[in-house]
Amino acid sequence: MTKRKKYVIIVDAAKCIDCKACMVACKVENNVPEGFWRNWINVLGGKNGSLRTEFQPSQCMQCDDPSCVAACPVQATYKQDDGLVVIDPEKCIGCGNCVTACPYKARYRNPAKKIADKCDFCEDRLKRGKEPACVVTCPTKTRVFGDLNNPDSLVAQMLKKEKLVQIAAPQINTRPNIYYFEGTQLLDWAVTPMLPGNINMPKEFWKSESSVKEG
């Protein structure tokens, strides 16, 4: 029996030079409207007395326990067998619950289509046997993409050999599927999901009941 795929990305933030080629490639590939992005680069520097500036690429984390899925009232957002969290444009009502439920601020409401949008690892490219646009366009190979369930894949081997970390959102555990090399500066830019996103989110998503804020 063939094992299901599980797509992940491993990021070596030390390689990022903030050229923004990944952002432009994503915008063109996915027709992202002006003023919005499916991926971005966080600028980190000056923490804990450090004078070093680091650039940390990020996007939708394709979480194993996605809060956006729990927050959607019409099941327009769902997780596929290959690990991708995707949006059904025919079902989405543009309510914005998933946008505020995402602790990584990885979603936006498309002003033209009036539905939610986000990174899907360039699913159309994956279906054609190609890697995400952000991965192939990076001049320093900051991102490594692959199937974690394939033991021969580079990402599977890296996860075994390298010290990797995930960005943990405060007060909620979504089990993200983007990994970063240990040693990057503090990965603390994730936020607590806000209402109305957490209206439909069951208690098991929260690390403590007291963390659920009512606005």
- DSSP string of 71-133, one letter each residue: H-TTS-EEE-TTS-EEE-TTT-----HHHHH-TT---EEETTTTEEE---S-HHHHHTT---H
Query: What is the gyration radius of the CA atoms in the chain, in angstroms?
Result: 17
Across the chain, mean pLDDT equals 86
> What number of other Cβ atoms are within 10 A of residue 55's Cβ?
19
Question: For residue 46, what pLDDT is reported?
Answer: 57
Residue 207 has pLDDT above 60, yes or no: no
Q: Rounded to 5 degrees, what are φ and ψ at 189? A: -90, -5
> What is the predicted pLDDT for the residue at 49?
60
Closest CA to 9 of 120, 127, 168, 140: 120
Average pLDDT over residues 107-118: 94
Give the chain's domains with CATH numbers.
7-211 (3.30.70.20)
The predicted pLDDT at position 172 comes to 80
Residue with tokens 């432009």: 24
pTM: 0.85
Whether 211 has a pLDDT exceeding 50, the answer reads: no
Tens of pLDDT, residue by residue over 118-128, are: 999 999 999 99
Give every CB contact of residue 131 below 8 A, 6+ residues apart in sequence: 122, 125, 145
Count Cβ atoms below 10 Å from residue 208 Cβ, excluding itself: 9
pLDDT at residue 171, rounded to an integer: 76
Region 207-213 average pLDDT: 40
